[in-house]
Structure 1
Amino acid sequence: MSLPTTALLHAIDADKTKLDAARPLPVHTLASLREKLTLEWTYHSNAIEGNTLTLRETKVVLEGITVGGKSLREHFEATNHRDAILYVEAIVAKNEALSEWQIRNIHSLVLKSIDDKEAGRYRQENVVIAGASTTPPDFLHLPEEMKSLVEWYEQADQLHPVERAAELHTRFVKIHPFVDGNGRTGRLLLNFELMKAGYPPAIIQKEDRLEYYDSLDEACVSGDYGGITQLVGNSVQRSLDTYLSVLGLRN
């Protein structure tokens, strides 16, 4: 049974304190954890969007091997996502602030060689999202919507990092600024925020897809971010469990 949100955030912070106390982590341990989480993050984020590569197939694609019977697009989705993670890690390491430019760069990597014309470009047309209760804003309003998103983010430092990451993700998805790749880009932004604050990435699993979409929809409609924060928090907790177990710190 999952903890209520406040208790969950306390538990996450207690585990993060344990992890921070163990830093710097052994080099090979850190490398293997990073590889594991990059693979799982790439697999699940793509699977949520309909990519049919299995976890093992995703692993071999990231190693440079072509998988028979899978489309070129699915291969690019895997390698692009890995490259986008590397980019996010780099901007976190340099302590760069989030900006529209960064968001466009992340998206550009997500759609590279899949749709180069739209990569990093705000949509030039209106769209609807299948299954969603809200309609994204008119494309003519995207510059002001994205400017407002960054302004909100700059003022949101009173929120717990997990809450801020969940709300940033939701607000971005609601704007839906690109014709394709919004979900993947949004989850990369989610983890940019978490990693910047020293937390491991939240890997929303494809098995949680329905709960994820439902909690996103609820937050977009009502402005209540409790459900999506809970889902993100549970995902962060899972990553922390992985770290602490490998380090022998999980009691």
Structure 2
Amino acid sequence: MKASRDYMDDLLIRMAFHSCAIEGNTISLPQVGVIFLERMLPSGGKSVWEFYEVENHKRAFEYIEDLLAAELLLSLAEVKEIHSLLTDRLQHDRGQFKSQQNAIRGAEFKTASPFETPQLMEQWVDNTNYRLDLAVNENEYLEVLADTHIQFERIHPFSDGNGRTGRMILLFLSMKYLSDPVVIRKEWRGRYMEFLGEQDVSGLVGLFKESIAFERERIKEFGN
């Protein structure tokens, strides 16, 4: 993806805002910009927890930029590192698979057990790389990304931070294979959660296409 540094900074700000807001973080988009561009704490009595949730996206974003520059495939170690960076100062078990059963609020399905998780995640990484390698056009890539994103969230491999980690992995894979990022927007939260819960690949692909169309225009606005 050929994009200016200004666009990449803008992408980080928007990605951090939307991904955190989906999980209930109340820091606004302008405040996220202040955190990253001005290196200042947000005003308005925001919690340290919310600040770290946002601020941790910077190191995770820089990490996936390094992965893209090195043209590396996704691996289990990288999945764990992305989670570790996103949950730094927030979780004692950052970068480690869950040791106790967890659940998703409002979901009727059961997430993977701690015993099953390591093997299921190995299979998930291998399957994701294999299917993306076989894809030949944008629609096929999007279908794979949607399906594997759904499966990641259903495994729910970490004790917490699965949503933010899954969306950062999605950002990395979309930039790697499509040269354009996919960012799930806060205002799509309802549809996004519904598509995840119902395993609606085509519905999720529709959101991805909306995102890519927006990002392509955004790249043009910032110039190269």
Q: State the TM-score, normalized to the length of structure 2.
A: 0.91
Q: Does 1:72 align with 2:48?
A: yes
Q: Does 1:192 align with 2:172?
A: yes
Of 93, 102, 110 in structure 1, the residue corresponding to residue 86 of structure 2 is 110
Of 160, 163, 185 in structure 2, the residue corresponding to residue 205 of structure 1 is 185
Q: Does 1:154 align with 2:129?
A: yes
> Structure 1: how far apart are the matches of 2:170 and 2:151?
11
> Structure 2: how far apart are the matches of 1:154 and 1:197?
10
* Range that drifts further, 81-90 or 151-160: 151-160
> Structure 2: how far apart are the matches of 1:161 and 1:230?
13
8 A contact 2:12–2:57 mirrored in 1: no
User: How large is the RMSD of aligned CA atoms in angstroms?
Assistant: 1.7
Counterpart AA for 2:46: K
8 A contact 1:122–1:177 mirrored in 2: yes
Of 119, 137, 148 in structure 2, the residue corresponding to residue 144 of structure 1 is 119
> Structure 2: how far apart are the matches of 1:44 and 1:60?
15
Name the counterpart of 1:168: 148
Pairwise mapping of residues 85-96 of structure 1 onto structure 2 (< 5 A)? 85-96=61-72
Unmatched 5+ stretches in structure 2:
none
Name the counterpart of 1:125: 100
> Structure 1: how far apart are the matches of 2:47 and 2:123?
38
* Range that drifts further, 106-115 or 128-137: 128-137
Report the 3-state secondary structure (helix = DSSP H, G, I; strand = E; otherwise coil) of the residue aligned with 1:119.
Answer: coil
* Range that drifts further, 93-102 or 158-167: 158-167
Of 61, 82, 85 in structure 1, the residue corresponding to residue 58 of structure 2 is 82
Counterpart AA for 1:189: I
Percent identity of the aligned residues?
A: 32
Report the 3-state secondary structure (helix = DSSP H, G, I; strand = E; otherwise coil) of the residue aligned with 2:198.
Answer: helix
Of 194, 202, 214 in structure 2, the residue corresponding to residue 238 of structure 1 is 214
Unmatched 5+ stretches in structure 1:
1-19
Q: Which of these two proteins has the greater Rg computed from alpha carbons?
A: 1
> Structure 2: how far apart are the matches of 1:86 and 1:124?
28
Name the counterpart of 2:157: 177
8 A contact 1:112–1:119 mirrored in 2: yes
1:198, CA displacement in angstroms?
Answer: 4.4
8 A contact 1:43–1:54 mirrored in 2: yes
Report the 3-state secondary structure (helix = DSSP H, G, I; strand = E; otherwise coil) of the residue aligned with 1:140.
Answer: coil
8 A contact 2:75–2:125 mirrored in 1: yes
Count of aligned residue pairs for this structure pair: 217
8 A contact 1:199–1:236 mirrored in 2: no
Counterpart AA for 1:146: M
Counterpart AA for 2:99: Q
8 A contact 2:141–2:178 mirrored in 1: no
* Range that drifts further, 131-140 or 99-108: 131-140
1:246, CA displacement in angstroms?
Answer: 4.1
Name the counterpart of 2:28: 54
* Range that drifts further, 44-53 or 148-157: 148-157
* Range that drifts further, 198-207 or 135-144: 198-207
> Structure 1: how far apart are the matches of 2:223 and 2:69?
23
8 A contact 2:73–2:129 mirrored in 1: no
1:247, CA displacement in angstroms?
Answer: 4.1
1:155, CA displacement in angstroms?
Answer: 2.0
Report the 3-state secondary structure (helix = DSSP H, G, I; strand = E; otherwise coil) of the residue aligned with 1:80.
Answer: helix
